């Protein structure tokens, strides 16, 4: 047990240090993220030392069970394809431009509209994709309008990591925790609607209070005009996302796994786009761009963390933690502990670990603990940049655009906003359950 704990601890510490000091390295002109490499090395050390055999790891990763990480990865990456496609044809930026025009010169109205559009899009797509899309847009707009980008950047990040709780597809952590414990799409929605609304409202209230003085200056420029590349491609993309969401809602009734539904729609999207391009002689290389932007690094990252947690589970470390929590632990215990843990080991590893811990707890608290961990995995991203992969990517984008936002400044805003958001979300969850 001690050896496994040491390897897992060292891996997590190195992961944190990589986020704080060096998120990527340059090799032959290309930037390569190192966070997943660190976790992969930790997993290889466990495998090569014989703590877990390669056979054991392979059998667990490919097992036909709810905790199969391959199925979960397929589900999330397939949904990412649908979202990235809409972004590539300019849909998200087009909506942002249209909505932000209504704000005119008022920064308060600009903040309200931005928060609303990010929240709505996050619910039906993916928080990571929305953050990657809107962050450069906000940086450019703020520079042209001669306003401070920080309130809008942080509001975007908060909205994306709060409203991502509402549907199971909003965050890979939702997918993992819900799927592992057999929670269907509809069951998830029934529970998480009220907590998400309460948490989202609390987060927005705190944002307006925290940044009230920064929002007094008038906007000096109009949002950029963004033209849609092709309305035919737009129709194909929206149809696939909409129909896919409908099938996810009824997946438990038609007995088809969610990962299979999303995979089929992602493949169908590519087939329709290829046919459309051949018939209409469209020269947009949208498929190639989609494939480039898929977060492929998530595959080795999740699989490696899965191996680390398998080792912790095999040597009863998860039993020990479950014992500390007790069999009568409330949503507040699991919610607060997952919220804090996400900021030490990142929300995806935390979700894998807590899934194993919940599996050792009394069956009577399984649902409460699972939903509480979902809440912690989403809102935990707001406290520090370490809390989620989205935070790591977000920080990197800000550096590229010359926006200064230190770790301490992030925590200063993050703590003030995330703690009330967490409290109101868990209160809503407590009411529902």
The rounded mean pLDDT for the chain is 84
Q: What is the mean pLDDT of residues 79-88?
A: 84
Reading the block at residue 426, the tokens are 């868990």
Residue 281: the pLDDT is: 63
The DSSP secondary structure of 104-120, one letter per residue, reads TT-HHHHHHHHHHHHHH
Q: Give the CA-trace dihedral at 423, 426, 430, 433, to 10 degrees.
A: 170
Q: What is the mean pLDDT of residues 23-35?
A: 69
- Cα dist from 430 to 178, 297, 330, 426, whole Å: 18, 35, 9, 6
Residue 345: the pLDDT is: 77
Q: Is 373 or 19 the better-scoring residue by pLDDT?
A: 373
Q: Which of 110, 115, 113 is nearest to 148 (CA)?
A: 110
**Confidence label for 131 from pLDDT (cuts 50, 70 and 90):** confident
C-alpha angle 349/191/78, rounded to 5°? 50
Residue 282: the pLDDT is: 64
- For the cut 80, the answer to whether the pLDDT of residue 73 exceeds it is yes
- For the cut 90, the answer to whether the pLDDT of residue 379 exceeds it is yes
**Confidence label for 136 from pLDDT (cuts 50, 70 and 90):** confident
> What is the distance between the alpha carbons of residues 354 and 343, in angstroms, rounded to a whole number?
14
Residue 295: the pLDDT is: 80
**Confidence label for 26 from pLDDT (cuts 50, 70 and 90):** low
Residue 429: the pLDDT is: 94
pTM of the model: 0.81
Residue 394: the pLDDT is: 81
> What is the distance between the alpha carbons of residues 262 and 239, in angstroms, rounded to a whole number?
13
- Per-residue burial over 329-357, b if 16 or more Cβ lie within 10 Å, else e, is bbbbbbbbbbbebbbbbbbbbbbbbbbbb
- For the cut 80, the answer to whether the pLDDT of residue 104 exceeds it is no
Residue 224: the pLDDT is: 60
Residue 361: the pLDDT is: 78
Lowest mean pLDDT, pick from 21-25, 123-127, 163-167: 21-25
**Confidence label for 206 from pLDDT (cuts 50, 70 and 90):** very high
Residues of the chain with pLDDT > 90: what percent?
Answer: 25
**Confidence label for 29 from pLDDT (cuts 50, 70 and 90):** low
Residue 391: the pLDDT is: 79
Q: In the beta sheet, which residues pair with residue 31?
A: 26
Residue 11: the pLDDT is: 87
**Confidence label for 193 from pLDDT (cuts 50, 70 and 90):** very high
Contacts of 48 (CB under 8 A, 6+ apart): none
- For the cut 80, the answer to whether the pLDDT of residue 267 exceeds it is yes
Report helix, strand or coil for 54.
Answer: helix
Residue 259: the pLDDT is: 85
Q: Is the dihedral of CA 359, 363, 367, 372 positive or negative?
A: negative
Q: Are 346 and 42 in contact (CB under 8 A)?
A: no
Q: What is the mean pLDDT of residues 14-42?
A: 76
Q: Is 422 or 218 the better-scoring residue by pLDDT?
A: 422
| Segment 294-342, tens digit of pLDDT | 888 888 888 888 888 888 888 888 888 888 887 666 789 899 999 998 8
Q: Is 218 or 372 the better-scoring residue by pLDDT?
A: 372
Residue 87 CA to its chain's centroid (Å): 17
Residue 350: the pLDDT is: 85
Q: Is the dihedral of CA 106, 112, 115, 120 positive or negative?
A: negative
- For the cut 80, the answer to whether the pLDDT of residue 413 exceeds it is yes
Q: What is the mean pLDDT of residues 204-225?
A: 81
């Amino acid at each position: 047990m001690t050896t496994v704990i040491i390897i897992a601890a060292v891996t997590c510490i190195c992961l944190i240090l990589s986020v704080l000091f060096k998120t990527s390295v340059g090799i032959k002109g290309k930037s390569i993220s190192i966070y997943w490499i660190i976790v992969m090395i930790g997993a290889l050390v466990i495998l090569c030392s014989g703590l877990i055999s390669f056979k054991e790891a392979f059998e667990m990763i490919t097992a036909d069970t709810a905790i199969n990480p391959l199925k979960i990865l397929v589900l999330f990456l397939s949904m990412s394809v649908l979202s990235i496609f809409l972004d590539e044809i300019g849909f998200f930026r087009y909506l942002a431009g249209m909505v932000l025009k209504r704000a005119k010169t008022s920064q308060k109205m600009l903040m309200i509209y931005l928060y609303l559009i990010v929240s709505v899009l996050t619910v039906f797509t993916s928080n990571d994709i929305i953050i990657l899309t809107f962050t450069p847009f906000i940086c450019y707009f703020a520079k042209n309008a001669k306003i401070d980008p920080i309130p809008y950047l942080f509001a975007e990040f908060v909205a994306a990591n709060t409203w991502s709780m509402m549907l199971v597809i909003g965050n890979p952590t939702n997918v993992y925790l819900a799927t592992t414990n057999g929670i269907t799409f509809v069951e998830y929605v029934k529970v998480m609607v009220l907590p998400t609304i309460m948490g989202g409202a609390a987060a927005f209230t705190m944002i307006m209070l925290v940044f009230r003085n920064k929002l007094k200056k008038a906007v000096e420029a109009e949002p950029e005009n963004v033209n849609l590349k092709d309305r035919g491609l737009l129709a194909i993309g929206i149809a696939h996302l909409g129909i896919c969401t409908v099938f996810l809602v009824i997946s438990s009734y038609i007995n088809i796994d969610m990962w299979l539904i999303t995979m089929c729609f992602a493949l169908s999207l590519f087939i329709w786009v290829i046919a459309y391009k051949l018939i209409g002689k469209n020269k947009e290389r949208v498929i190639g761009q989609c494939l480039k932007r898929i977060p492929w690094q998530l595959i080795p990252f999740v699989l490696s963390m899965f191996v680390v947690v398998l080792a912790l589970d095999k040597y009863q470390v998860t039993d020990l933690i479950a014992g500390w929590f007790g069999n009568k632990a409330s949503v507040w215990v699991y919610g607060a502990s997952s919220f804090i843990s996400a900021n030490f080991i990142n929300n995806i590893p935390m979700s894998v670990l807590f899934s194993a811990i919940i599996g050792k707890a009394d069956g009577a608290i399984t649902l409460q603990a699972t939903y509480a961990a979902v809440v912690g995995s989403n809102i935990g991203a707001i406290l520090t940049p370490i809390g989620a992969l989205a935070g790591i990517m977000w920080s990197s984008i800000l550096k590229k655009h010359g926006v200064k936002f230190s770790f301490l400044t992030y925590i200063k805003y993050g703590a003030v906003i995330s703690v009330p958001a967490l409290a109101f979300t868990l209160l809503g969850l407590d009411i529902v359950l």
